[in-house]
Chains A and B, each alone.
Chain A
Amino acid sequence: DTEVTQTPKHLVMGMTNKKSLKCEQHMGHRAMYWYKQKAKKPPELMFVYSYEKLSINESVPSRFSPECPNSSLLNLHLHALQPEDSALYLCASSQDRYLHGYTFGSGTRLTVV
């Protein structure tokens, strides 16, 4: 298995809702990442987990809450989002943080209404 699987593919949520994005990989990668991508912009780093521990939080608002239950799973919990949070949320993984490229999932297209 050489894929990163993200669910759901599309999500529409209201500003008072709570939802979660899920990311899964079975490649034995020990680093996992959340990126946010707006249209015609590069992916923007949000969170990094290395060996299931949060190692980088790029000053992301607390309405985004990451969780890494085990080495294969990464969740992003969403609460009280704003319309400007609408974007493509990409999960990625890599064998380690230093020497290998990232494998990206196909993303969750999030719309906040």
Chain B
Amino acid sequence: QQPVQSPQAVILREGEDAVINCSSSKALYSVHWYRQKHGEAPVFLMILLKGGEQKGHEKISASFNEKKQQSSLYLTASQLSYSGTYFCGTENPNGYALNFGKGTSLLVTP
């Protein structure tokens, strides 16, 4: 029921790219992505609602492959402000609310 995220942690130099993956053992109709900085609330990045849909948010984009039951978050030309923990969320089987993956800790260094 909980989506599986990989990798668990990533360390990047400023300007480098990263990919975070989120997969589910059950069919997905949507995937959410959030970023949480230390001591702060999670912040909504984007939602993907259709298979094959790709969305962008600044230099952060995501894709959704419903057949493979997975989504990927792409961070390009990373900035220091991208540091934080990224969570994907998929719908709870009891009804629509989100279950979150365990998170991917991203650290961007100068």
List chain A positions with a Cβ less than 8 A from chain B.
31, 33, 41-45, 48, 55-56, 58, 90, 97-107
Interface residues of B (CB under 8 A from A): 2, 30, 32, 34, 40-47, 49, 87, 89, 92, 94-103
A52 to chain B, nearest CB (A): 15
- CB <8 Å contact, B98 and A102: yes
| Distance from B105 Cβ to chain A, minimum over Cβ atoms (Å) | 9
Chain A residue contacts of B92, Cβ below 8 A:
45, 56, 58
Which residues from A are CB-within-8-Å of B34? 101-102
Q: Least Cβ distance of A34 to chain B in Å?
A: 10
Q: How far is the CA of A100 from the CA of B30 in the complex (A)?
A: 10
Known A104-B42, A104-B43; contact A56-B101, beta-carbon cutoff 8 A: no
Complexed CA–CA distance, A106 and B38 (Å): 11
**A48–B97 CA distance with the chains assembled, in angstroms:** 7
Picked from B41, B42, B45, B98, the residue with its CB within 8 Å of the CB of A45 is B98
A contact face: mostly helix, strand, loop, or mixed: loop
Shortest Cβ distance from B33 into A: residue? A101
A-B contact pairs, 5 of them (CB 8 A): A43-B42, A43-B87, A45-B99, A99-B47, A101-B32
> Smallest CB–CB gap between A51 and chain B, Å?
13
Pair A102/B44 contact, Cβ less than 8 Å: yes
* Nearest opposing residue in chain B for A102, CB measure: B44
Query: Do residues A48 and B95 form an inter-chain contact, with CB atoms below 8 A?
Result: yes
B96–A98 CB distance below 8 A: yes
Q: Knowing A101-B46, A101-B47 are in contact, say whether A42-B97 is a contact too (CB < 8 A).
A: no
B98 / chain A contacts, CB cutoff of 8 Å: 45, 102
B100 and A107 contact, CB distance less than 8 A: no
Q: What is the minimal beta-carbon distance from A3 to any residue of chain B, in angstroms? A: 10
